[in-house]
Chain A
Amino acid sequence: MTQTTTAASGAAPTKPVVIRRQARSDLSARGEPFVWLMGAALVIGLTMILGFLAFVIYVGALTFWPSPIEVVTRADGRVVAGEVFRAERYRVPEEVVAAASDDVKAKIATDLGFADRTLYRVGNYDIFGEDFVWVSEFDKKSVAFPRDIYMIERVEWGPFIGRIKEIDLAGTKIADPSGAKVAAAHKAAEARRKEIERIDKVDIAGVNHEIEELRLKVRRGELDYGADSAEAAATKADVAKRTEALQVRYEALGRKVAALRQTDETYVATLEAIDGQTKTLPVSRFMRLYRANDLSSEEKFWIYGSRWAEFITGPPREANTEGGVFPALVGTLTMMVLLSLAVAPFGVVTALYLREYAKQGPLVSFIRICVNNLAGVPSIVYGVFGLGFFCYIVGGSVDQIFFPEKLPTPTFGSGGMLWASLTLALLTVPVVIVATEEALAAVPRTMREGSLACGASKWQTIWRIVLPRAAPGIMTGLILAMARGAGEVAPLMIVGVVKLAPELPVDFTFPFVHFERSFMHLGFHIYDVGFQSRNSEAGRPMVFVTTLLLISLVLMLNAFAIYVRNSLKRTYQTGQF
């Protein structure tokens, strides 16, 4: 090296330049501030996520805990009974201050015009016309917790808070409702209610379904042979006979229900609200009743558990603000499974072609960029596409070809489980493609060469060596896709999710999975309960409970997928590579 330098300069050797290096590296060179910055960023992110989770879990877990009922006597003598919902500090309006007594005025003045107030959930919507009442702290004369106040959850109209005056069990009048007799009567009434529901939803629905099938049969006969053909007439006569038999069954069921209802009417309770108004209700209308201020811890746990059980396994009531979310849970799960089934093969096959078979060049690069950009398209756009393409074009054609007798009622031609899943699959497929491509690229070249050298074809190599080896990476993509799919609500509102679905997408009638049905979804349920219901204040606790459930569901699905991925990894990727 020295020689060349001298030769190049051609002159006498100059004094070599000595660069003195710093003995100590300065702060920025050591990167210390950047480490702090990165650490701080991580801490901020984690704090936000954990804080949110803690909040949801706290609020969601406490919602179902039975709280005591306060009976508040106000300054003007009116009485309010209810559960404490929340409390806040507010600026007292001028006219209220003006109307208040002198010492209250003085107190508000020392607090700079502010005062505390509490929101009570008073229930009895059918009597009072409101579920909630604000009571200012200065307005409270006394607060009591009487032991005989009942919290009664009803099938409709929300909870009733008050006393039970008298119970009439088919003529036997009982004043004290806590006895075993009343519990037994309540149990029997509940059984009757469930029986009525069952007859309504299963038996009568089944008869209706059969009648509808027969009507369709006539229509099909007309379509196949012409409206005035002999075959159509024969079908019509046959169907008329069978419909008659069904009508008889229908009426018998109707009588059975009427009889049950009549029995129900004889078991009634007379309730008295805190202000003295009374109301008489059949016992079967009660979901749950307990003395809120007279519960042992054990009873509280029992009520808490039974509320959770109702929430998870029960149907919604009261415009979704009460009852359970079972249909939404089933809908979400079914949709996630269908979504995974659709997105996995589609994404993997596309990625395989792009990475293994397509000739790498500008066109493939362009396609790849397009696929990556698809991931950034607003999800509502996919919803509109799903409605236009899947529901109207594909579904409409399917209806024309396979279900002409049902038209103009659409079968597949409107939003439903299948189209919602496919729309979400389309939405999440870029994630799977990108992850699969990366997983395929990460399969060592030596593996492919080893297989090819054994005389395997390219396809055999891909099928037997490359895909198993890439499977964990593909699973990662699938996990990400599922997580994204679980979080989407906007496109679903257009392609098949509804506020209240009469039937589940999966049930016990053939063919068990009904892809054409619209369904309920936990994400939409949150939106609906929180922002679309009659009383958003009453729905708010349900919002957090449902959020908690949705988060747990996504977490469980992800945990399962991660478990599968790790076991794949153990099988295919350990060793010294």
Chain B
Amino acid sequence: MADSSFAPTAYHVREGGQGISLKVESYSLWYGAAQALWNVDMDVQKGLCTALIGPSGCGKSTLLRSMNRMNDLIDGLRTQGQMVIDGEPIYGSRIDVIALRKRMGMVFQKPNPFPMSITENVIYPLRVDGVTDRKLLAEAAEAALRGAALWDEVKSRLNESALGLSGGQQQRLCIARAIAGNPEVLLMDEPCSALDPIATAKIEELIDELKGRYTIIIVTHNMQQAARVADNTAFMYLGRLIEYGDTKAMFEKPLVKRTEDYLTGRFG
């Protein structure tokens, strides 16, 4: 499939006013011999919520997981190009990956609380940093749980196992865990795909509250969700970034034919 079959990438991004948080510079990625991302260029606006949409296998999750180098775990992975967070490069031989990940919280498709108490789950990033001051930890736990709109539901059972929470609560706990480490960017990989509509609505509400404080990048296969929560939306197809722009404008009048086809459900 030749590159020319794709229309050139169209940009019409809404500015957040705080500058650029994360910059993707002609980034390509291979799983062994198969190329999964082709020359992606993208500037993520600070303080806004950016959605990555596209059909299954288009590389949106791969792109997201490249941002905090979660893909490092995969054997036979090769990348080209660069990503930059606040002026600092993400790829390179001298990068401290652990320090990098501390700057970005991540929420996964399936809620993945650890087999510990609710409090211990939330303060896990601090425990990892070696914080032992009990008062500080308790405060951080409360702040993060309040930030994730979970405090009122769990404050009476903070020392019980996190595995006893409902799916939606577990996912909000994971969000609390992600923000407890005080990151700059929140990466969300289809955070609502395993949840029911009510839990989904709560998470979306939460995303709305959190943006501004954090730069949020969310992968979703639900176009309505993207329309509801995202300021900017990037549409990807077959490993390429096809169109990237202001969500409202893009959903009303896409500039690229392929984006329009996808948004109107003609393929996907």
Spell out A's residues near B (CB within 8 Å).
360, 444, 446-457, 460, 464-465, 468-469, 571-576
Distance (whole angstroms) from the CB of B165 to the closest CB of chain A: 9
Known contacts A455-B98, A576-B167; A450/B108 CB under 8 A: yes
Known contacts A454-B102, A454-B125; can you find 8 more A-B pairs with CB under 8 A? A446-B110, A453-B70, A454-B181, A456-B98, A456-B125, A457-B98, A575-B115, A576-B167
Distance (whole angstroms) from the CB of B144 to the closest CB of chain A: 12
Interface of A is mostly: helix
List the B side residues contacting A572 at CB < 8 Å. 115
- Docked CA distance A465–B164 (Å): 18
Q: Are A450 and B174 in contact (CB under 8 A)?
A: yes
Known contacts A450-B108, A453-B106; A468/B115 CB under 8 A: yes
B101 within 8 A of A: yes
* Choice from A450, A452, A455 contacting B114 with Cβ under 8 Å: A450
Spell out B's residues near A (CB within 8 Å).
68, 70, 73, 75, 98-99, 101-102, 104-106, 108, 110, 112-115, 124-125, 127-129, 161, 163-164, 167, 174, 177-178, 181, 187
Q: Are A451 and B163 in contact (CB under 8 A)?
A: no
Q: Are A444 and B161 in contact (CB under 8 A)?
A: no
Q: Are A449 and B110 in contact (CB under 8 A)?
A: no
Q: Are B112 and A447 in contact (CB under 8 A)?
A: yes
Q: Are A453 and B68 in contact (CB under 8 A)?
A: yes
- Docked CA distance A351–B62 (Å): 31
List the A side residues contacting B68 at CB < 8 Å. 453
Q: Are B102 and A455 in contact (CB under 8 A)?
A: yes
Q: Are B115 and A455 in contact (CB under 8 A)?
A: no
* Nearest CB in chain A to that of B109: its residue: A446
- Docked CA distance A491–B129 (Å): 48
List the A side residues contacting B75 at CB < 8 Å. 360
Q: Are A575 and B114 in contact (CB under 8 A)?
A: no
Q: Are A460 and B115 in contact (CB under 8 A)?
A: no
List the B side residues contacting A464 at CB < 8 Å. 114, 124, 127-128
List the B side residues contacting A575 at CB < 8 Å. 113, 115, 161, 163-164
List the B side residues contacting A446 at CB < 8 Å. 108, 110, 112
List the B side residues contacting A469 at CB < 8 Å. 115
- Docked CA distance A360–B108 (Å): 27
List the A side residues contacting B181 at CB < 8 Å. 454-455
Distance (whole angstroms) from the CB of B132 to the closest CB of chain A: 14
- Docked CA distance A575–B113 (Å): 10
List the A side residues contacting B70 at CB < 8 Å. 449, 452-453
Q: Are A447 and B114 in contact (CB under 8 A)?
A: yes
* Choice from A452, A455, A465 contacting B129 with Cβ under 8 Å: A455
- Docked CA distance A457–B108 (Å): 18
Q: Are B101 and A453 in contact (CB under 8 A)?
A: yes
- Docked CA distance A571–B70 (Å): 28
* Nearest CB in chain A to that of B115: its residue: A572
List the B side residues contacting A454 at CB < 8 Å. 101-102, 105, 124-125, 128, 177-178, 181
List the B side residues contacting A460 at CB < 8 Å. 128
Q: Are B177 and A449 in contact (CB under 8 A)?
A: no
List the B side residues contacting A576 at CB < 8 Å. 163, 167
- Docked CA distance A451–B112 (Å): 9
- Docked CA distance A572–B114 (Å): 8
List the A side residues contacting B73 at CB < 8 Å. 448-449, 452
Distance (whole angstroms) from the CB of A535 to the closest CB of chain B: 59
- Docked CA distance A444–B112 (Å): 9
* Nearest CB in chain B to that of A445: its residue: B73
- Docked CA distance A574–B164 (Å): 8
Q: Are B115 and A571 in contact (CB under 8 A)?
A: yes
List the B side residues contacting A455 at CB < 8 Å. 98-99, 101-102, 125, 128-129, 181
Sample of 11 A–B contacts (CB below 8 Å): A449-B112, A450-B114, A453-B70, A454-B128, A454-B178, A455-B102, A455-B128, A456-B98, A574-B163, A575-B113, A576-B163
- Docked CA distance A446–B181 (Å): 19
List the A side residues contacting B104 at CB < 8 Å. 453
